[in-house]
Amino acid sequence: MSGTWLRGARRTLSGLKPIRVPDAPARAFRDLWPGDATRGQRLLNGELEVAGTVRPLPDDPRAFGPGAGSPTWRAALHGFSWLRDLRALGTDAARMHARDIARAWLEAPGSDPLASTPEVTGARLSAWLGHWDFTAATAEDGFRRAMMTRLASDARILVASLPAEARHRGALVALKGALAAAVALEEEPWLTRCLKLLPAEIDRQILPDGAHVERSPGILLLALQDLIEIRNLLHGAGIEAPPHLAHALDRAAPALRLFRHGDGGLAAFNGTREEAASLLDLVLTQAQARGRAPLILGDAGFQRLQAGRTLVITDCGAPPPKGGAPGPGGLARGADRHHHAGTLSFEMSIGRDRMIVNCGAAPAAEGAWRDAMRATAAHSTLTLADTNSSELTEDGLGRRPENVEAERHEASGAQWLEATHDGWKRGFNALHRRRLYLAESGDDLRGEDLVEGENVPAFTVRFHLHHAVNATLHEDGASVLLRLPSGSAWRLRARGGQVSVEDSVQLFGEPRQTKQVVVAAEAGAGGIQWAIGRVAAGEG
């Protein structure tokens, strides 16, 4: 264990009386969310999957250290949320395997500094308590005692360390775990401290428009789950929740709906991966918020254009603020920790068929593969001189757009959106301007991408296609026929650059090969105009 937060916690704890360790939690806890039996089976086979990255679990307890994988993968390993995947198997073998992993982990104290950070500690406390009946309730006395002792020790240090230094969801996870431990151990002073900190933390996490500070649909989903768990925890303990909590749920649930495509899944912005529509339905039901999907998230900078059966979701916001130096174990502290260089990218779906997408994310992968998914070229937007619109760093973003502006108009059901960003101001003194027009029928989306500046270098506009879309380059070399799973056909036309169909990859769930339409403009080009229109039956 290391870091300034831990030194401060130890100073706070010095001179305090030894903590009382009960035989079991004072209240019954139950994790609210369904696990994944496929991931559970992988765990039985000795592998842990985290956000699509699969690595073998350490056999030797001494190997639960920094060399086991990326910081994100190790955080998940030490956070124990994978217990719900073993639970989903519903077998005694899964229960015993959960105990075996926990026992090995308990035998390796201090093997990885990351395991003792507030974010990871909070996740572990919530997981141990949420699955206590599955993992420990019927285990032998020695195992239960070891888990309760470590739980009490971790909780005491965590509560003393609050508020966490992280500027991202990790601080909410830490507070949630501390609250759960305070209730489980019946520690009134801990509970008082956590409740005092909760309103300010909620305000830091959830923007006024309901989006999450990390600007990620996937993280917003997780934060919404955190808030639901905190609300239910307090309600079950007979504690009145602060008004901030209900107000945050009322804002966050509708905001999450903005990011849903017709198939019920989330748009792939800023580290978001595929989530089952059934999980989103469950979370929104549990949130008890009835608000409809807004068209604009003004604080986060996302826009939703919708007409007929056509939906377009666009990222028109500036990246979130950067944090300080990485904490123990390499975890980043800023809200930009998983952010992508995808400013002004968009996704498009027709009914339940996704057509234009971003490539997805690999947040738990090693650096090169993770950053390939974060690059501008992995998004459906413009890339200038093969340079990212934001500089990708190990712990977030370096250079990034400072001014991102969007203006929207509507008339007679048609919608116009014009957005700009200055991410290439440094180095190229250039501005990217994207214009979108969606006709009232939804059958015609038109766009224009301009690079404004002197001595404009070559640039490309990419349209990554969902893996279920079939793409055929027309013999005229200026258009591509797109066939959707439903059978409908659309044509993408472009001028101002050379059109080609190239290989791409989609990382929503399992990696999938797919295609992208690339429009390449030469240096000095004025811009690229493009259109995506429905093809009438029989035209092809």
409-460 pLDDT, tens digit per residue, is 999 999 999 999 999 999 999 999 999 999 999 999 999 999 999 999 999 9
Tokens in use for 468?
A: 């279920």
CA distances from 139 to 98, 99, 123, 136 (A): 11, 8, 22, 5
- Tokens found for residue 244: 């901030």
What is the model's pTM?
A: 0.94
Question: What average pLDDT does this structure show over 182-210?
Answer: 97
| Mean pLDDT along residues 78-96 | 97
**Mean pLDDT of the region 462-487:** 95
User: What are 407's strand-pairing partners?
Assistant: 418
Q: How far apart are CA 226 and CA 497, in angstroms?
A: 47
pLDDT score at 16 = 55
pLDDT classification of 247: cutoffs 50, 70, 90: very high
Residues 6+ apart with CB under 8 A from 114: 66, 71, 74, 75, 78, 120, 328, 329, 330, 331
Q: In this predicted model, what pLDDT tens digit does every residue of 355-368 receive, in sequence order?
A: 999 999 999 998 88
- 9-18, 94-103, 378-387, 500-509: the lowest-pLDDT one: 9-18
Q: Find residue 473's DSSP bridge partners.
A: 480
DSSP code per residue over 119-159: HHHHHHHHHHHHTHHHHTTTS-HHHHHHHHHHHHHHHHHHH
> 280 with 264: CB under 8 angstroms?
yes
User: Quick check: 405 pLDDT over 70?
Assistant: yes
Residues 19-57 pLDDT 10s: 788 889 999 899 999 999 999 999 999 999 999 999 999
φ, ψ of residue 376 in degrees (nearest 5): -60, -35
Question: Tell me, what's the pLDDT at 15?
Answer: 47
Amino acid at the residue 539: E
Q: Which pLDDT band, with edges at 50, 70 and 90, does 63 fall under?
A: confident
pLDDT, one tens digit per residue, over 108-139 is 877 899 999 999 999 999 999 999 999 999 99
**Model pLDDT for residues 206-229, shown as the tens digit of each residue:** 999 999 999 999 999 999 999 999
pLDDT at position 324 is: 67
How far apart, in whole angstroms, are the C-alpha atoms of residue 35 and residue 153? 28
Please report the pLDDT score of residue 10 as a whole number.
47
Q: Is residue 401 pLDDT above 90, yes or no? A: yes
- Tokens 């609050």 belong to which residue? 162
CA 484 to CA 309: how far, in whole Å? Answer: 13
Of residues 109 and 77, more confidence is placed in 77
pLDDT tier at 17, thresholds 50, 70, 90:
low
Q: Are strands 444-452 and 346-350 parallel, antiparallel or unpaired?
A: unpaired
Q: For the ranges 51-65, 332-346, 521-535, which has the lowest average pLDDT?
A: 51-65
Contacts 24+ apart (CB under 8 A), 6-15: 6/116, 6/157, 6/161, 6/328, 8/160, 8/161, 9/157, 9/158, 9/160, 9/161, 10/157, 10/160, 12/160, 12/161, 13/156, 13/157, 13/160
According to the model, what pLDDT value does residue 90 have? 93
Question: For residue 398, how many other CB atoms are within 10 A of its CB?
Answer: 12
- Asked if pLDDT for residue 89 goes beyond 50, the answer is yes
Q: What residues have CB less than 8 Å from 359, skipping those under 6 apart?
A: 268, 373, 378, 379, 464, 504, 505, 506, 507
8 A C-beta contact, residue 422 and residue 405: no
Planar angle of CA 347, 351, 357, nearest 5 degrees:
20
The phi, psi pair for 497, rounded to 5°, reads -165, 170
> What does the pLDDT average to over 239-258?
96
Q: How confident is the model at residue 493 (pLDDT cuts 50, 70, 90)?
A: very high
The whole-chain average pLDDT of the chain stands at 93
Q: Does residue 4 have a pLDDT over 50? A: no
Query: Is there a contact between 422 and 343 (Cβ–Cβ < 8 Å)?
Result: no
